[in-house]
Structures are given as structure tokens and as C-alpha cells.
Structure 1
Amino acid sequence: MKIVSIFAIILGFSQCGSSKFVKNPSFKIEKAVYNNWKGGQPGVSGTKLEIHISNASEIEFESLFFQQKETKVEVSKDGDKTILIGHFSTSTKEKRDLILDADPTKELKNTPPNIENTKFDLKENEAVLTYKKGDKVHYYMIKDIKKTQPTFFPSAKQQ
């Protein structure tokens, strides 16, 4: 009997997790694309996600979850269209000053690396858009996001 009760509770919680997504939002996704970019310096790179939306009045867009990362949304208007942009850093170049010493107490001042864990288990071409309508927060999953050509920025000339 205990096993059946535990199984029912676990099943109930798993159903709650899948129902948190809005199925039919009031806005319409016109286009969703992303591309990877590389900067002019070694180790500097990222991903830009761009979502074109119509009928987005009275909605406050908050954040995007994409490829196991989260970022705030940049919102811009183009006529009656709304464009949402998310910038995700994939840079391997870190600005960390590490203290390496024979005395381990001095190394306690080192900051641990930032490990990002997202709330969602997404495929490479899926994103979750978080938005507010009124006082309520909603989540909408965007599927089949198209990958476009990567962008390469030239390095700056040394003076």
C-alpha cells in the first residue's frame, strides 16, 4: 500500500510539471531563429536567439531558457511586430584571478565557478519563453527553432 501511495504522489507531481506550459498563448510566433557567433578574440563566443512575435500587446516578456542557459529578454518593436532577442554566452575565456598557495586557507578567497542549472530539460532547438500577463507568470515552449549561419567577427588590429 505504501508503494502505491508513493507512486501516486510521484505521478501527481510529474503531471504538474508538464502542465505549467501555456498551450495557446495570446501572441503568435512568426519566426524563431538562432545562430552561433565567435568574437574577435580567442575564447569569446555566444549564441543569439531571435523571436518575431505578433499580437503581443499587454504582455511583459521576462526571460528565455535555451540550450541549458537562461537570459533576460531584449524587446524591440518593428511596426506591429515585437522582436525578442536573447544573448547567451558560450565564452571559454574567463576573467578569474585564482589564488594558488601552499597555504590552503589563502585559497578560500577563490570564487567557485558559476554552474548554471536550468528549470527545463530542452532539446537543442527548443526554448522556453517566460512572460507576464497581468500579475500571472506564464511559460511557453517554442519548438523547431531554425539554426542560421554562424557569424564571425574580425579581430581588432593591434596598435
Structure 2
Amino acid sequence: MSIIKNIFFPLSILVFMSCASYQFEKQPPFKIISGTYTNWVGGVRGVSGTNINIVYSSNQEVEFDSIFYKDRKTKVSYKKNGSETSLLGQFRNETEDFQLQRSGQLEYGNSLPNDKKKKVDKPFKLDGNEVVISYKENNKIKYFKYSNLTEGEQVLYR
């Protein structure tokens, strides 16, 4: 029983401390009007991804940094369409293609290719309809969680 206490107690403190390090803002300096995620597939095998489009309004200049979606992170880009401004996050699904030798004897001893995906700190556990937006306010990075993403129609490129 004491072994369980010795393991469980420090582990639970560590979990609570890591959760407390990221506080979500309740009143950010912007208002989200709508948010969508759109899955897309390219014309070449293995090329696909997800685009995030978040339409927002703000009475002040906001310096956005990144969008977190599922277990990934990307830098924000902007799109202006008339009076609407959108945050864009583009997530490409990376697959590594490799060629096998014709002969098993030539293939013997070869290792699998290295994982070239960026290792990202996964600070947030997000569902498929949630994103976290990071932005700077008074030289401090803040986080806002948006949970109402809607799925757009899948795009097929040829």
C-alpha cells in the first residue's frame, strides 16, 4: 500500500502542476465569429491535410502566434475578405514514402526511415472540434480555447 502512495502522490502532483501551467483566457481581446476545419486531399498519393479557418473581430490590434489542433501546432497566417479577418492554420499530413529493394537479401539489415515529423510539445488535449489560439498581450503569451469548430466539406484536388 505504501508503494502505491509513494508512486501515486508524486505523479498526481506532477499532473496537476502541468495542467496549471496553461491557463485559458475567458475574455480575450477578440471575438470569434465562426470557425471551421476542412480536410483536403491532394492529387498525389499521400498528400493531404486539414485547414483551420477562424473568422474573428477585434477593436484593437492583436498579435496572434500559433494554432494548436489535435496534437499539432502551426504558425498563424491571416486572410482579409472585405470587412472580415480570418486566422488560418494549415496542417499537412506528412507521410514518408520509401522504396524497398526487390531482393529480401538486399533489404536485410536496413532500418526504417527516421521520423522526420517535428516533435511538438503536446500541452493541450483537444477534441476534433477544438483549437487553442495563442496570442501576445503586453509581451506575454496567452491562450484561448475555442470549442465550436464546424466541419467544412472535404476538398479534393486533382
TM-score normalized with structure 2 length: 0.76
Aligned partner of 1:70 in structure 2 is 73
> 2:103 matched to which residue of 1?
none
Report whether the alignment pairs 1:139 with 2:140.
no
Tell me, which stretches of 5 or more residues in structure 1 are unaligned?
155-159
Deviation at 1:114, TM superposition (A): 2.4
Deviation at 1:47, TM superposition (A): 0.3
Q: For 1:43, give the aligned amino acid.
A: G
Quote the RMSD (CA, aligned, Å): 3.1
Query: Contact 1:61–1:75 at 8 Å: present in 2 too?
Result: no
1:22-101 correspondence to structure 2 within 5 Å: 22-55=25-58, 57-92=60-95, 94=96
Structure 1 residues 91 and 16, CA, compared in 2 at 3 Å: closer, same or farther? Answer: closer
In structure 2, distance between residues paired with 1:149 and 1:8: 42
One-letter amino acid matched to 1:130: S
Counterpart CA distance in 2 for 1:60 and 1:96 is: 40
1:151 equivalent in alignment to 2:155? yes
Q: CA deviation at 1:103?
A: 7.2
1:56·1:82 contact (CA, 8 Å) conserved in 2? no
* Percent of aligned pairs with the same amino acid: 33
Match of residue 131, structure 2, among 127, 133, 153: 127
CA contact (8 A) 2:94 2:117 kept: no
Q: 43-52 or 6-15, which moves further after superposition?
A: 6-15
In the aligned structure 2, how far is the partner of 1:7 from the partner of 1:66? 26
Normalising by structure 1, report the TM-score.
Answer: 0.75
CA-to-aligned-CA distance 1:30-50 (integer Å, 9 cap, x gap) = 010011000011110000000
Aligned residues: 148
Aligned partner of 2:140: which letter?
A: K
Q: Tell me how far 1:68 sits from its aligned partner.
A: 1.4
